[in-house]
Amino acid sequence: MTTNSDTTKGKISRNGLWDSNVALVQLLGLCPLLAVTSTVVNGIGLGIATLITLVLSNTIVSLIRGFVRSEVRLPVFVLIIASLVTIIELSMQALFYDLYLVLGIFIPLIVTNCAIIGRAEGFASRNPAGPAALDGLMMGLGFLFVLAVLGGMREIIGFGTLFANAELMFGEGAQALTFEPNPDYGGFLLAVLPPGAFFGLAILIAAKNWFDLRPQEKTEVISAVAESV
């Protein structure tokens, strides 16, 4: 991998959202991912908190990369991330208390999300602030996207609803967002329980791999045909 192609805006975005997606390819941060995705709103809530942490930690790590001595860089990164997460947790408790009640115990887990220290060490500590912030944003969006999709899958299969409790995050007006196609749907417990999270993630990873491999198969077929001719 050359550093040049890694730091163009398009490449950073593509890496974060798809090619090196934190959840689907790097398989980092699975603990919060699997634990909170029983509904879309939970997924989006934790996704946004992780995204903010990633952008801020990447930016700060990049800004101080000139001064940090390599022997102490990891403790410094951990310190930055832990402080940021505590600040986010306190702010959430003050501003979005109801959402905090739902996500509360998972917020401190962001500290243990390897994706964050992984990006600090692997990208932000070697690149200028702009690309580092963009990398944090794109990695965060990629993670948020998977959290939301997995939450949606589990919620619609498990509870038969989508965007339930949206008012916790977006205010009372968002109650109208809740979508319940069939009120008589009895629910499918397995999707809500932890195994449902593993099945759901496995399906998403399989779908991504299938999607990525498809064009290659086509070209292989074409080259095979070309060879036979």
Partner 1 sequence: MIAISRRQVLLSGVFLWLFAVVGTTLVALTEYSTSAAIVENERQLLLRNLYALLPMNRLDNDIATDTLELPASTLLGTDDDSTVYRARLRGEPVAAIFNSIAPDGYNGKIHLLVGVYIDGSLAGVRVVKHAETPGLGDAVEIRKSSWIEDFAGKSLTNPSQDRWRVKRDGGDFDQFTGATITPRAVVAAVRNTLLYYQQNADMIFDQ
Q: Mark the segment that binds partner 1 (CB under 8 A) among 25-33, 76-84, 137-145, 214-222.
A: 76-84
In angstroms, give the least distance from the CB of 212 to partner 1: 34
In angstroms, give the least distance from the CB of 12 to partner 1: 27
Distance CA 123, CA 108 (A): 23
CB atoms near residue 92 (< 10 Å): 18
Residues 6+ apart with CB under 8 A from 110: 32, 46, 49, 50, 53, 81, 85, 88, 116
Q: Which of 69, 215, 227, 228 binds partner 1 (CB under 8 A)?
A: 69
- What residue type is 118 in one-letter code? G
Instruction: State yes or no: residue 95 binds partner 1 (CB under 8 A).
Output: yes
3-state secondary structure of 179: strand
Q: Is the Cβ of residue 111 or residue 205 nearer to partner 1 in the bound state?
A: 111
Q: Name residue, tokens 């603990």.
A: 31
DSSP code at position 64: T
Instruction: State yes or no: residue 198 binds partner 1 (CB under 8 A).
Output: no
Distance CA 112, CA 192 (A): 23
CB atoms near residue 173 (< 10 Å): 9
In angstroms, give the least distance from the CB of 186 to partner 1: 9
Q: Is the Cβ of residue 32 or residue 160 nearer to partner 1 in the bound state?
A: 160
Q: Is the Cβ of residue 128 or residue 187 nearer to partner 1 in the bound state?
A: 187
3-state secondary structure of 171: coil
Q: Which of 17, 35, 68, 114 binds partner 1 (CB under 8 A)?
A: 68
Given a contact cutoff of 8 angstroms between Cβ atoms, the answer to whether 19 and 80 are in contact is: no
Instruction: State yes or no: residue 93 binds partner 1 (CB under 8 A).
Output: yes
Q: Name residue, tokens 């220290």.
A: 117
Instruction: State yes or no: residue 86 binds partner 1 (CB under 8 A).
Output: yes
| x/- letters, 116..145, toward partner 1 (CB under 8 A) | ------------------------------
Q: Which residues bind partner 1 (CB under 8 A)?
A: 38, 67-69, 71-72, 75-76, 79-80, 82-83, 86-87, 90-91, 93-95, 97, 101, 158-159, 187, 189, 192-193
